[in-house]
């Protein structure tokens, strides 16, 4: 019965996406939902985009071992990012005329930086999508004991079909119903478990106080680790295509601003529910947790052990809703960047200008989506940790694009050479710290060196040309 309900739910989503495909007349409709979404649809779309499997499954397993400190990246960092997009950056995004956010870097810094930015943006999404492939496979393994490898492939096919027809319009409309399912599903699991554990008061009393402590210890390394975790998603995800698309999909800039702010608060509140489910089980059924060797299977196994068919359907429906919402955007966003910043320029360069018409732009995005899906499967097979794949996806843009992005938005004068130095210096330091296992947060090191590289290069170039101009006089 449960399996039939879940299958019917997936087929409904794919069928609705096919129905909406008839309303997509051009690339703007496909990528930006026609830029006509109202406040409530936009708010739920912001929330559902990021509230994926890494929050319900991945973060829950990390929380089990590390307490609230495991939630610094997500949900706390993620909520900060969504809030900043709404409150600060939405007005800038909404004015941009580009289909791909990487085109912003090209227009500001030139074609080289635009090329590097496109590559970094796409690379980040591949890891995130791989995490969602694994999460979907975990659900299938729980329901029908299907091997994870087979589940990943099935998930990738479903995600691709989901986004292929409907684009962002279908995704956004379904996000409203999916957000309701997510909330109902989590509450259906949380209420009986928390009640069985004696209520929230008893759970808090039975849990060591340090488990709730999110702040770092008062030493240099702990503070650096905390800052690194907070900014990895908190500002590392700012220059991302999916958030740009969500802003551009809104009916007005004002709608984009307030839907971003509102969804940030929804995200932080709803994201804490899986954490308290875990705490409730630790208090009421500690033996159930001790029997599990894979932390990512904790919540699915708890639901299968404790819930009736309705609760199980609501929970797995919630996870599937979260996964499908996020995965669809994780395919559409990098596919748009690839098609617009790699395929389209190549066609123009080769003299095929007729093939860059609007209908061909949409088709090239769809074809790029196939390639992105295939690459994500390979990454998922290599690295099977949901939480690490999802959160590290933001690291790539943190150490490469955040600094050029911020200067491109706020600085009166910008420097292409400084942007290139920022990208490559941040990336090199980040990779170097990982390879040589340096005892310092590699994300923070990469970001700081990227910032320093930009500032130094900008200062040196400005000084050089200033002296040259004085010499000519």
Question: pLDDT, tens digit, for every residue of 75-131?
Answer: 899 899 999 999 999 999 999 999 999 999 999 999 999 999 999 999 889 888 888
The answer to whether residues 270 and 263 touch, using CB atoms and an 8 Å cutoff, is no
The phi and psi torsions of 96 (rounded to 5 degrees) equal: -70, 140
What is the C-alpha separation between 228 and 198, in angstroms, rounded? 36
**Residue entry with tokens 């090329």:** 115
The CA distances from residue 243 to 92, 100, 257, 454, in Å, are 12, 11, 12, 25
Nearest to 101 by CA among 125, 133, 77: 125
As beta bridge partners, residue 250 has: 37
Alpha-carbon Rg for the chain in angstroms = 23
Say whether 440 sits in a helix, a strand or coil. coil
User: According to DSSP H, which parts of 307-357 are helical?
Assistant: 309-338, 344-349
Burial (CB count <10 Å: 0-12, 13-18, 19+), residue 144:
exposed
- Residue 11: CB atoms within 10 A of its CB come to 11
Structure tokens at 261: 């702010």
What is the C-alpha separation between 62 and 70, in angstroms, rounded? 6
Report pTM: 0.87
- pLDDT tens digits for the chain (473 residues)? 778 887 888 888 888 888 888 788 888 889 998 899 999 999 988 887 777 655 666 566 667 777 888 888 888 998 999 999 999 999 999 999 999 999 999 999 999 999 999 999 998 898 888 888 888 888 888 788 888 889 999 989 999 988 888 888 888 888 888 788 778 888 888 898 899 889 988 988 888 888 888 888 899 999 999 999 999 989 999 999 999 999 999 999 999 999 999 999 998 888 888 888 888 888 887 776 665 555 556 677 777 776 677 777 777 777 777 788 788 888 999 999 999 999 888 877 777 666 666 557 888 899 999 999 999 888 888 765 555 565 566 789 999 999 999 999 999 888 999 999 999 999 999 999 989 999 999 999 999 999 999 999 988 766 555 554 444 44
The answer to whether residues 389 and 131 touch, using CB atoms and an 8 Å cutoff, is yes
Tell me 342's DSSP state: I
- Predicted local confidence at residue 136, as pLDDT: 87
Nearest to 320 by CA among 102, 45, 132, 103: 132
What is the C-alpha separation between 108 and 101, in angstroms, rounded? 12
Tell me 406's DSSP state: H
The answer to whether residues 261 and 87 touch, using CB atoms and an 8 Å cutoff, is yes
Q: Which helix (H) or strand (E) holds 192?
A: helix 148-196
Say whether 37 sits in a helix, a strand or coil. strand
What is the C-alpha separation between 260 and 74, in angstroms, rounded? 17
Burial (CB count <10 Å: 0-12, 13-18, 19+), residue 65:
exposed
What is the C-alpha separation between 176 and 266, in angstroms, rounded? 13
As beta bridge partners, residue 464 has: none
Q: Which helix (H) or strand (E) holds 210?
A: none
The answer to whether residues 165 and 27 touch, using CB atoms and an 8 Å cutoff, is no
The answer to whether residues 58 and 203 touch, using CB atoms and an 8 Å cutoff, is no
Q: How many residues does the chain have?
A: 473
What is the C-alpha separation between 345 and 366, in angstroms, rounded? 17
Nearest to 284 by CA among 209, 189, 142, 210: 189
The phi and psi torsions of 37 (rounded to 5 degrees) equal: -80, 135
Nearest to 237 by CA among 326, 164, 135: 326
The CA distances from residue 102 to 29, 150, 305, 343, in Å, are 19, 34, 46, 13
Nearest to 362 by CA among 23, 19, 27: 27
């Amino acid at each position: 019965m449960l399996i039939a309900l879940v299958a019917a739910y997936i087929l409904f989503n794919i069928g609705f996406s096919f129905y909406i495909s008839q309303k997509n007349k051009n690339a703007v409709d496909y990528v930006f939902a026609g830029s006509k979404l109202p406040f409530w649809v936009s708010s739920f779309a912001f929330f559902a985009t990021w509230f994926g499997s890494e929050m319900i499954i991945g973060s829950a397993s990390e929380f089990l071992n590390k307490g609230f400190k495991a939630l610094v990246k997500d949900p706390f960092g993620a909520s900060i990012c969504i809030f900043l997009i709404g409150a600060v950056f939405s007005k800038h995004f909404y004015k941009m005329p580009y289909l791909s956010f990487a085109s912003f870097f090209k227009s500001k810094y030139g074609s080289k930086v635009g090329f590097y930015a496109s590559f970094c943006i796409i690379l980040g999404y591949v890891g995130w999508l791989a995490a969602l492939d694994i999460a979907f496979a975990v659900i299938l393994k729980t329901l029908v004991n299907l091997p994870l490898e087979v589940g990943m492939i099935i998930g990738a096919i479903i995600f691709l079909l989901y986004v292929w027809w409907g684009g962002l319009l279908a995704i956004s409309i379904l996000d409203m119903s999916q957000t309701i399912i997510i909330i109902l599903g989590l509450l259906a699991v949380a209420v009986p478990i928390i009640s069985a554990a004696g209520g929230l008061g008893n759970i808090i009393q039975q849990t060591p106080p340090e488990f709730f402590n999110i702040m770092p210890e008062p030493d240099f390394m702990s503070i650096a680790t905390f800052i690194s975790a907070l900014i990895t998603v908190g500002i590392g995800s700012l220059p991302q295509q999916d958030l740009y698309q969500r802003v551009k999909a809104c009916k007005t800039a004002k709608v984009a601003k307030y839907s971003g702010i509102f969804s940030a608060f929804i995200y932080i509140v709803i994201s804490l529910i899986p954490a308290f489910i875990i705490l409730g089980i630790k208090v009421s059924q500690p033996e159930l947790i001790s029997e599990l060797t894979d932390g990512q299977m904790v919540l699915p196994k708890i639901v299968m052990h404790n819930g009736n068919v309705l609760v199980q359907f609501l929970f797995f429906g919630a996870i599937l809703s979260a996964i499908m919402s996020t995965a669809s955007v994780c395919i559409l966003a990098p596919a748009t960047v690839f098609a617009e910043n790699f395929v389209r320029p190549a066609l123009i360069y080769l003299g095929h200008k007729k093939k860059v018409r609007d209908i061909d732009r949409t088709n090239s995005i769809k074809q790029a989506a196939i390639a992105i899906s295939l690459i994500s499967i390979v990454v998922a097979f290599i690295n099977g940790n949901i939480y690490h794949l999802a959160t590290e996806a933001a690291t790539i843009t943190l150490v490469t694009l955040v600094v050029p992005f911020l200067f491109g938005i706020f600085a009166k004068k910008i420097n292409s050479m400084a942007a290139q130095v920022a990208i490559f210096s941040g990336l090199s330091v980040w990779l170097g710290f990982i390879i040589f296992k340096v005892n310092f947060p590699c994300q923070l090191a990469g970001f700081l060196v990227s910032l320093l590289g930009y500032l130094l290069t900008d200062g040196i170039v400005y000084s050089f040309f200033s002296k040259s101009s004085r010499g000519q006089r």
